[in-house]
Structure 1
Amino acid sequence: MRLTLESIRWVELDEEIRCLLGKPYQMLPLSPGLEADVVKVECADHSCVLKIWNKDSKPNIQNQYELLSKLYESRVQVSKPYGWGMDVDQNQVLLTSYDGEPIAKLSKTKLEHLARLLIQVHGYEVNGTENVGSDLIPQYDFLQYFFPSIDIHEDIHQILTSLLQQIEYRQDKLIHGDYNLGNVLEADHQYTVIDWTNGQLGDPRYDMAWSIFLMTIYVGERNGKVYSALFKSLTEYTPDDAEIFEAMACLRWILLKRVANVPMGPGVMQRIKKIIGNNSYLHDELL
């Protein structure tokens, strides 16, 4: 059966969108993610995005819908959630606003927008609200969540344990968990953070380090250095913190490379080796 908006069993659906059900619309495939297929829904005067979790990953989409609703109400720059439900194959679906395309060409100004956007996420008020520790903003075991199968990779586990003994890993702020260029959309000089599957209580220093690391290895050292300097100037992210959390980010990438597929590209391994060579907590034998 062909997927249609009418065939979805909606648990929640915005009235504005419900009124469109019966009017002509087109469904246009967008680039799929690792966890879900993505479709753009185009009406005469409205566009939105339907995400269908029809692969192995089965996150709690009700929680994601409710978190997006809270963030949107708080003026954090996220997609407006319109509804969630199940398709005919019992796959979870999420319907949100259409907010543009991934950033095509970076500049220092855009890098600053990206840094400030993540800092805005970290500034979302979680303390003293009903959201803390709830399913809405879950709290996970850091190692088990971000380092799958770590127990059977003793070399990585040993370094991580040592790093965690040197810093106090905090879980008191909202973090995105996978803030990269693929998860920020741009339209008319407005930026929107998408894909909140990994949203949780965590340490902003780790969230920044992972984002800087991905920027460096996939977009280039120059952009990575500018991006890193922005976080250090706009937050209390110190050089000492940066080296420790950069090591954690690199270890995570190495682990993911061992247990699954990670995106590769020209120069990626050379940049990884350079990061390892410049970081006193890492060594070449990890690769």
Structure 2
Amino acid sequence: MSVPHYLALIGSGCSAEVFRLAGGRVLKLYREGLDPGVIEREHDGVRHAQRQGLRVARALGKREHKGRLGIIFEELAGTPLLRDLLLRPFRSRSLLGRFAAYHARMHRCSGAGLDHAQHIIVHVRILHAEVGEDMRRLALDRLYAIPEGDRLCHGDFHPQNAILTDEGIAAIDWSNGSRGDPAGDVARTELLLRFGGLGGMMRRFPWLRRFRNAAANLYLRRYCEATGMSEEAIDAWRLPMAIAALHPESRIDRDALVMELRGQGHAI
């Protein structure tokens, strides 16, 4: 497939670029060298979510351009929830309530039929984490003390991947989609709300850290109210998810996360 030079580049990240196509579509074109399994995971995850009736950016087909693999999606008319949280903090309670409700709705969907398993994804990341071997063994032991789940999990659900549309929230970026335990998916979202990226901004604007912690706490409260999930179920996942986030390609605020783990008595 040819990507005409006059089409607008509307997004760019570590793993892909997004181009606007005609007819209300976008092309997510992955960067060279990316593991094709990640692309398959995104395609399979979003198609599975579609079949379960979840609001997502529908996958319309795969394409290749100059050796780069891509997926065509419908273009969603909306804005990332993160934008509204930052520009309209007075709406944060309502927005995070909707965010938590969507996540709860996702976890009511079956993950049966998905090839990708949450435990395996987290296991591989722990193996590549930049931590000592004792810490790695502890994280793996904690991971495999948790039974594998069979619910639909996103694996990277945070306010930048939640789009506010006229029909409600729609999740994008399913490259970590899997079948798994909802408590692990919640622990991952909590981690991203508290520590995802923005390390430099946190140092320049300390109030953002307080805002993010408050947002994480509100999300957890709303999710648990909606589902009845226990704090203990989420807590079992916190250490494995934290160590998995310390792999070299992670965009987590490593310094802040390591400080938090050391404060809990862990030797990183």
- TM bin, normalised by shorter chain, reads 0.7 to 0.9
Residues 1:158 and 1:182: Cα distance change in structure 2 (over 3 Å):
same
Contact 1:217 1:271 in 2 (8 A): yes
1:147-162 alignment to 2 at 5 Å? 147-149=126-128, 153-162=132-141
- Alignment partners' CA distance in 1, 2:244 and 2:40: 28
Choose the corresponding residue for 1:231, options 204, 223, 236.
Answer: 223
Contact 1:147 1:252 in 2 (8 A): yes
How far has the Cα of 1:275 moved from its partner? Answer: 6.2
How far has the Cα of 1:241 moved from its partner? Answer: 2.2
How far has the Cα of 1:152 moved from its partner? Answer: 7.4
Post-superposition CA distance 1:138-164 (Å, at most 9, x none): 236255333242597313213214423
Contact 2:43 2:174 in 1 (8 A): no
Task: Name the counterpart of 1:121.
Answer: 106
Amino acid paired to 1:196: W
- Alignment partners' CA distance in 1, 2:12 and 2:215: 26
- Alignment partners' CA distance in 1, 2:120 and 2:257: 29
- Alignment partners' CA distance in 2, 1:152 and 1:247: 12
- Alignment partners' CA distance in 2, 1:142 and 1:66: 15
Post-superposition CA distance 1:14-70 (Å, at most 9, x none): xxxxxxxxxxxx6211221221111122x4xx4221101123213344664454334
Residue 75, structure 1, aligned to residue 53, structure 2 = yes
Choose the corresponding residue for 2:251, options 262, 265, 281.
Answer: 262
Residues 1:30 and 1:243: Cα distance change in structure 2 (over 3 Å):
same
Task: Name the counterpart of 2:236.
Answer: 244
Task: Name the counterpart of 2:29.
Answer: 52
How far has the Cα of 1:95 moved from its partner? Answer: 0.8
Post-superposition CA distance 1:211-244 (Å, at most 9, x none): 0111123461111111111222222431222322
How far has the Cα of 1:263 moved from its partner? Answer: 4.5
SS for the counterpart of 1:231 is helix
- Alignment partners' CA distance in 2, 1:164 and 1:82: 35
Gaps in structure 2 of 5+ consecutive residues: 86-91, 197-210
Residues 1:182 and 1:55: Cα distance change in structure 2 (over 3 Å):
farther
- Alignment partners' CA distance in 1, 2:100 and 2:181: 16
Contact 1:49 1:97 in 2 (8 A): yes
Of structures 1 and 2, the one with the larger relative CO (CA 8 A, separation 6+) is: 2
Task: Name the counterpart of 1:15.
Answer: none
Residues 1:115 and 1:68: Cα distance change in structure 2 (over 3 Å):
same
Contact 2:122 2:240 in 1 (8 A): no
Residues 1:66 and 1:213: Cα distance change in structure 2 (over 3 Å):
closer
How far has the Cα of 1:272 moved from its partner? Answer: 5.8
How far has the Cα of 1:92 moved from its partner? Answer: 1.2
SS for the counterpart of 1:30 is strand
Choose the corresponding residue for 2:16, options 1, 24, 36.
Answer: 36
Residues 1:228 and 1:83: Cα distance change in structure 2 (over 3 Å):
same
**Identity between Structure 1 and Structure 2 (%):** 18
Task: Name the counterpart of 1:220.
Answer: 212
Residues 1:202 and 1:146: Cα distance change in structure 2 (over 3 Å):
farther
- Alignment partners' CA distance in 1, 2:190 and 2:50: 25
Contact 1:137 1:174 in 2 (8 A): no
TM-score by length of 2: 0.78
Contact 1:67 1:137 in 2 (8 A): no
The number of residues matched between the two structures is: 244
User: If each structure's helix is expressed as a fraction of its own residues, which one has the higher value?
Assistant: 2
Residue 163, structure 1, aligned to residue 149, structure 2 = no
SS for the counterpart of 2:7 is strand
Task: Name the counterpart of 2:259.
Answer: 273
- Alignment partners' CA distance in 2, 1:271 and 1:105: 25
- Alignment partners' CA distance in 2, 1:91 and 1:205: 35
Amino acid paired to 2:120: D
- Alignment partners' CA distance in 1, 2:232 and 2:258: 20
- Alignment partners' CA distance in 1, 2:137 and 2:42: 34
- Alignment partners' CA distance in 2, 1:208 and 1:193: 15
Contact 1:216 1:225 in 2 (8 A): no
How far has the Cα of 1:193 moved from its partner? Answer: 0.6
SS for the counterpart of 1:179 is coil
